[in-house]
Chain A
Amino acid sequence: MPTDYLDRFRREGRIVIVGASLAGLRAAETLRAEGFTGSLTMIGDEPYDPYDRPPLSKAVLLGKASALHTDLPRRREIDAKWRLGVAATGLDMTAKRVRLADGDEVEYDRLLIATGVRARPWPKESEADLDGVLLLRTRDDAAALYRRLKAGPRRVLIIGAGFAGSEVASACREMGLAVTVAERAGAPLVGALGGVIGSVSAELYHENGVDLRTGVMVTGLESDSVGRVKAAHLSDESVVETDLVVVSLGSMRNTEWLTGSGLGAGPRGIACDAGCRAFDFRGIVTDDIFVAGDVARSPHALFGYQFLSLEHWGNAVAQAEVAAHNMISSSAERRPHLWVPAFWSSQFGVNIKSVGVPPMGEQIMITQGSLAERRFVGVYGYQGRIIAAVSFDNTRWLEFYERQIERGAPFPVEFATVDRRPEGRQPVDAAFPDPSLPTHGPTVTLSGYSPSDRQLVFTPARH
């Protein structure tokens, strides 16, 4: 882009951000911080100022915060035009226009898409609509769930033992509620951390009095005569009587509004290059559409240029900053999004953190502490390299492993580590489930190499 155009764009261009949550807000702040003085429009379908989601399954359910008061602090004023409570329903890439649900159209010079994901609903619609069947993604979801938990249900059933399901189960136990968790895999957290760590999580469940059912699927939800859920049927023929069901089956990318636009967007997200520029459906990179946050999938040099979808808070922030910077920079000044994936969760009083991409790991070894004590660091190896690490109540070492991942340090881990136990000398199979089988909410999805992947179906607009 010639510099005079860029200068003018930075001064008086029009930037539109669709998705007014974590990634959208941080991108807007970065644009202003880096000197963009043109017009900025924030479009969000939720009727709220940007708010933070992680507390919704933690502090909120523990009664330490209100679901309605998790608004994100602002780093600076962004002087934006806000269109909240109205969804974007279409994109015209040629005319450079976003269509809105209320019929309006908003023109842009550059567009950032940060529409994130939503909770995957219970697949049988009539059962999903029953009174007492809930999801957890939004502020309203959390407020409704907390209200129901406070009302003292007889038994809560959580379908899916990923991070979110585990956090809800943990909160239920703190409230003294009876809770059953049904998980298709052999243990909780298996999709994200593998079976070795999953079995530690299963022990935590048991110790804390959760009725954990693994290797089963919920086959149906049963209603009473007035449309309230009263029981769930499981694939092992057992029946769980429950009056509150939390469906925690992972998420779906909010890309439907882009159907027919010509952008490389589909059920697996929006593919972009390392500089956050979106690909069109032919695999050609666009120059004026950028993506960030949960909805994006982007190639990562540290992980063999695999396209990664990261449903991680830290990724949304880091990618938003890079996308915003690149939106107002010349190609030579652009930066790649090379953030090392990192994630945290807290459940049953244990602080779980990971760096890198655990699901890529073939083997794991416990380099510090011990599984039995629930205080350890596990390191994942892939083709002779350290690819990820996970810690249970052992946060302070994680940064060290992050450096090892960045360096591509060899695996098995040979260096001496503090608190190394005999059990950690040999790597063992990390025990991830077959990647072709869906798991309940892995928070990292390896989505192949090519942006124009065969599984992306381009459906031309019908009008």
Chain B
Amino acid sequence: MRLVVDLNKCQGYAQCAFLAPDVFAMHGEEALVYNPRAEEEQREKLARAVAACPVQAITADGLHGAGAGSDEAARESSDAH
């Protein structure tokens, strides 16, 4: 699953780091570092982090079941050339 955090919006509340510590971590007091590619087994935790972020700063795809939005699906649908 791919994800990105809009760090302009992010307030460093750390809910995500609490809910999905393998994906998100605080670095210092309020800087967030994260892995833009989350492993499959992180799906549920990542979904919870996305939902819990108070400023909706996290965008992820591939959260709703395999297929749609995954790397492979995106490539299939796009690689017409």
- The answer on a CB contact under 8 Å between A58 and B8 is no
Given contacts A71-B71, A393-B28, contact A79 B77 (CB under 8 A): yes
Cα of A302 to Cα of B66 in the assembled complex, Å:
45
Whether B36 lies near A78 (C-beta < 8 A) is no
Q: What total of chain A residues lie within 8 Å of the partner, measured CB to CB?
A: 40
Q: Which chain B residues (35-81) contact chain A, with CB distance < 8 Å?
A: 35-37, 59-62, 69, 71, 74-75, 77-81
Please measure, in the bound complex, the distance between the C-alpha atom of A347 and the C-alpha atom of B69, giving whole angstroms: 32
| Contact A73 B34, beta carbon cutoff 8 Å | no
A61-69, A129-137, A187-195, A327-335: which lies at the B interface? A61-69
**Shortest distance from the beta carbon of B40 to any chain A beta carbon, whole Å:** 13
Contacts of B19 in A (CB 8 A): none
The listed residue (A77, A317, A348, A393) touching B77 by CB distance below 8 A is A77
Docked-complex contact B78 and A58, CB < 8 angstroms: no
A48-77 contact mask (Cβ, 8 Å, vs B): 1 or 0: 010010110011001011100111111101
Given A74-B69, A75-B59, A344-B8, A58 and B33 contact (CB-CB distance below 8 Å)? yes
Among candidates A52, A55, A82, residue contacting B78 with C-beta atoms closer than 8 Å: A82
Specify which chain A residues have a CB less than 8 angstroms from the CB of B33 in the assembled complex: 58-59, 62, 64, 346
Residue of B nearest to A402 (CB): B8
Determine how close the nearest CB of chain B comes to the CB of A49; give it in whole angstroms.
7
**Contact at B37–A83, with CB atoms within 8 Å?**
no
Selected from A73, A82, A343, the residue in CB contact (under 8 A) with B79 is: A82
- Establish whether residues B31 and A49, one from each chain, have CB atoms under 8 Å apart when the complex forms: no
Q: Which residues of A contact B11 (CB under 8 A)?
A: 395-396
Partner of B37, one of A49, A71, A80, A393: A71
- Quote the shortest CB–CB distance from B79 to chain A (angstroms): 6
Residue tally, chain B, CB below 8 Å to A: 35
Is there an interface contact between B81 and A66, defined as CB atoms closer than 8 Å?
A: no
Segment touching B, from A154-162, A209-217, A280-288, A349-357: A349-357
In the complex, the answer to whether B36 meets A59 with C-beta atoms within 8 Å is: yes
Give the docked Cα–Cα distance between A54 and B10 (Å): 14
Q: Is A421 an interface residue (CB 8 A)?
A: no
Among residues of A, the one whose C-beta sits closest to the C-beta of B62 is A73
Complex contacts, A375 vs chain B, CB 8 Å: 29
Partner of B30, one of A52, A59, A80, A351: A351
B35 touches A59 (CB 8 A): yes
- Cβ of B77: which chain A residues have Cβ within 8 Å of it? 77, 79
Take A82-B81, A83-B81 as given contacts and tell me if A73 and B8 are in contact as well, using a CB distance cutoff of 8 Å.
Answer: no
- Is A172 an interface position by the 8 A CB rule? no
On whether the beta carbons of A64 and B81 are closer than 8 Å, the reply is no
Q: A346-B33, A395-B12 are in contact. Are A73 and B28 (CB under 8 A)?
A: no
Q: Which residues of A contact B81 (CB under 8 A)?
A: 81-83
Name the B residues within 8 Å of A62 (CB-CB): 27, 33
Residues in B whose Cβ lies below 8 Å from that of A65: 34-37
A393-B30 contact, Cβ under 8 Å, with A73-B60, A351-B12 = yes
Chain A residues near B31: list those with CB within 8 A.
346, 349-351, 393
Query: A64 contacts B35, CB within 8 Å?
Result: yes
Tell whether, in the assembled complex, residue B80 and residue A71 are in contact, meaning their CB atoms are under 8 Å apart: no
Q: Which residues of A sit under 8 angstroms from B80, Cβ to Cβ?
A: 80-82
B28 near A350 with CB under 8 A, answer yes
Q: Are B8 and A342 in contact (CB under 8 A)?
A: yes
A314 proximal to B (CB < 8 A): yes
Q: Does A257 contact B (CB under 8 A)?
A: no
Find out whether the CB atom of B35 lies under 8 angstroms from the CB atom of A393: no
User: From B35, which residue of chain A is reached at the shortest CB distance?
Assistant: A65
Q: Which of A72, A81, A317, A351 has the most CB of B within 10 A?
A: A351
Of A49, A58, A66, A313, the contact of B74 (CB 8 Å cutoff): A49
Quote the shortest CB–CB distance from B69 to chain A (angstroms): 6
Residue of A nearest to B59 (CB): A73
> Given A49-B74, A342-B8, are A73 and B30 neighbors across the interface (CB < 8 Å)?
no
Selected A-B contacts with CB under 8 Å, 11 pairs: A69-B35, A69-B37, A71-B71, A72-B4, A73-B3, A73-B61, A80-B78, A82-B80, A317-B6, A346-B28, A395-B10
Q: B residues engaging A (CB < 8 A)?
A: 1-4, 6-8, 10-12, 25, 27-37, 59-62, 69, 71, 74-75, 77-81
Q: Which residues of A pack against B, CB within 8 Å? A: 49, 52, 54-55, 58-59, 62, 64-66, 69-75, 77-83, 313-314, 317, 342-344, 346, 348-351, 353, 375, 393, 395-396
Additional A-B contacts beyond A350-B29, A350-B31 (4; CB < 8 A): A71-B36, A82-B78, A317-B6, A346-B32
